[in-house]
């Protein structure tokens, strides 16, 4: 049914797409971008986010007593990428720059080549972190760094085998301070749009990630209002930059209560209902795929709520015009990381745990969990 829906969407948008293309400068990469989008939008599959910075993966390794060195980072990621039948559930992998160029343990091929042989699309994190201050002093709001030289870096990453990219914008909710501020939302939406345009001009499908982090005690209604405002502004700027919406992927947060709210892991029905409502209100049908970030949710909650969104739509008179699936990091890796615990003889157990979670997410993305 979902494949039929996607075919109907393609048919509905074909006439509109012609006028969109007439209004844009053709990049020369359109066919390649379209093929990448088709792969990333395959029903029943999602993206593995393995683009943790050296600092972030260090924190994960610290939790299991593993030293944060290149050899351990490479071993861990190669363990995930070589898991049996990973290609059944994973369509693409977001890589950190170190991993894009890393060789396999035996030195015979790159990790990027391992993915491509499995028909998994390699992607690349291109932002340099949410470090540019915006808004009022003391509020801690940021825009994301990495715009300088982005075109040249995208071209180099394409040459190295990457076919999509990711840029993460970080926004936070603070009800008392009225955050996120209009300035922060505007700045991040502009940056996401500029990044997306530069990616398309250099052959990379942009994953547009406006993350509203779950920190705080706010309720799900506040999250709904903020998420709707942010997505509206993001698409406003994507249109201003003439980004081809058919050749991008959206990676939003689900509409969840703050992590400090006692309902944060409980209110599944409202999370699913409000997330669906916001997406239908804000995301144009031309976008081929919406792949959620897990946003600090537990592994179970991230798959449970995705499953519920699909079940709700199956019971309604609406169908999703986009593939609605996952782009998870922690929610795919946490159990596997614990199973490995830095002992390389546990690699097989780690792969089994990873595939178990990937299969669960796959079923959830079809409403069949």
What is the H or E stretch that residue 91 is in? strand 90-95
SS3 content of the chain, % helix, strand, coil (to 5): 50, 15, 35
Q: Read off the tokens for 318.
A: 């609406």
Q: Read off the tokens for 119.
A: 């028909």
Distance CA 96, CA 155 (A): 16
Q: Is residue 25 classed as helix, strand or coil in its secondary structure?
A: coil
Catalytic site residue 251? yes
What is the H or E stretch that residue 164 is in? strand 164-171
Bond before 180 cis per omega within 30 degrees: yes
List the catalytic residue out of 251, 270, 299, 357: 251
List the catalytic residue out of 52, 141, 209, 246: 209
**What sign does the CA torsion over 303, 305, 309, 311 have?**
positive
Catalytic site residue 209? yes
60-77 burial: b if 16+ Cβ within 10 Å, else e: bbeeeebeeeeebbbbbb
249-250 and 46-50 beta bridge pairing: unpaired
The catalytic residue positions are 209, 251
């Amino acid at each position: 049914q979902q494949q039929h829906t996607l075919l109907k969407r393609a048919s509905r948008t074909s006439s509109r797409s012609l006028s969109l293309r007439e209004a844009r400068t053709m990049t020369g990469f359109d066919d390649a971008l379209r093929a990448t989008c088709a792969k990333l939008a395959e029903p029943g599959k999602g993206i593995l986010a393995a683009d943790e910075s050296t600092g972030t993966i260090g924190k994960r390794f610290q939790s299991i007593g593993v030293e944060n060195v290149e050899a351990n980072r490479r071993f861990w990621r190669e363990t995930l990428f070589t898991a049996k039948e990973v290609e059944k559930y994973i369509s693409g992998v977001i890589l950190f720059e170190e991993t894009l160029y890393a060789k396999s343990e035996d030195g015979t091929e790159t990790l990027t080549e391992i993915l491509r042989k499995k028909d998994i699309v390699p992607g690349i994190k291109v932002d340099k972190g949410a470090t540019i201050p915006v808004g009022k002093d003391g509020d801690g709001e940021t825009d994301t760094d990495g715009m300088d030289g982005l075109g040249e870096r995208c071209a180099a990453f394409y040459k190295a085998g990457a076919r999509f990219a990711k840029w993460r914008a970080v926004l936070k909710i603070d009800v008392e301070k009225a955050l996120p501020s209009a300035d922060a939302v505007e700045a991040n939406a502009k940056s996401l749009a500029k990044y997306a345009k530069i990616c398309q001009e250099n052959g990379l499908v942009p994953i547009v990630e406006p993350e509203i982090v779950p920190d705080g005690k706010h309720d799900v209604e506040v999250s709904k209002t903020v998420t709707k405002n942010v997505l509206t502004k993001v698409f406003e700027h994507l249109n201003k930059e003439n980004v081809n919406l058919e050749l991008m992927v959206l990676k939003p947060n689900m509409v969840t209560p703050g992590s400090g709210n006692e309902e944060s892991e409980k209110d599944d029905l409202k999370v699913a209902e409000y997330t669906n409502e916001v997406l239908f209100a804000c995301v144009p049908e031309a976008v081929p795929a919406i792949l959620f970030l897990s946003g600090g949710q537990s592994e179970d909650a991230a798959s449970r709520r995705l499953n519920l969104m699909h079940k709700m739509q199956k019971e309604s008179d609406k169908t999703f015009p986009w593939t609605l699936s996952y782009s998870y990091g922690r929610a795919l890796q946490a159990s596997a990381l614990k199973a490995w615990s830095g002992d390389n003889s546990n690699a097989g157990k780690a792969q089994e745990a990873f595939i178990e979670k990937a299969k669960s997410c796959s079923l959830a993305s079809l409403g069949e969990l």
